[in-house]
Amino acid sequence: MDKNFEKMTGFSEEDAEDWFENSARAKEYYMQLEAWGKSPSVKAKKDHEMKMMASKKGQALMGAGMEVYNDIGTMKWSSGFAKSGDYEEWVSNDSVKDLLEDLYDVKTKLKALMETKMQAKNMELGMAALGDVHA
């Protein structure tokens, strides 16, 4: 849990865990959430999202995301103490340039996917799932 949980809620982490484990209301919430997650409307939404990601634009987005992942993994950087005794951190300008260009590519591919008819249908399915009473 968040280290600020008690400050945010007024409950200790132990109190919250005890409530979740022993509360009939918490169990009912969990059962309702689980039933909703298995409802036909949620299944339709998830299936459609998989279809979207399998589309050409979805695959392009995933490829662009992998480029960002690769950029981060191969980034030239260093941190540590210099001969002067100062602590320093640096990143290669070329690495940052590559990362920013590829992040922009992700934005472009995401925008292209979000402007499709598939996304409009995805939004409709999402709203239907949110309105599903399920039980």
pLDDT (tens digit, 9 = 90+) per residue, 51-82?
A: 999 999 999 999 999 999 999 999 999 999 99
pLDDT (tens digit, 9 = 90+) per residue, 73-119?
A: 999 999 999 999 999 999 999 999 999 999 999 999 999 999 999 99
Residue 135 has pLDDT above 50, yes or no: no
3-class SS of residue 4? coil
Domain residue extents for the chain: 1-37
pLDDT confidence tier of residue 8, bands split at 50, 70 and 90 = confident
What pLDDT, on the 0 to 100 scale, is given for residue 132? Answer: 87
Give the C-alpha separation, 80 to 23, whole Å.
50
Q: For residue 71, what are the contacts with CB-CB under 8 A and spacing of at least 6?
A: 95, 98, 99, 102
pLDDT (tens digit, 9 = 90+) per residue, 20-48?
A: 888 888 888 888 999 999 999 999 999 99
Q: Which residue matches tokens 């459609």?
A: 48
What pLDDT, on the 0 to 100 scale, is given for residue 81? Answer: 93
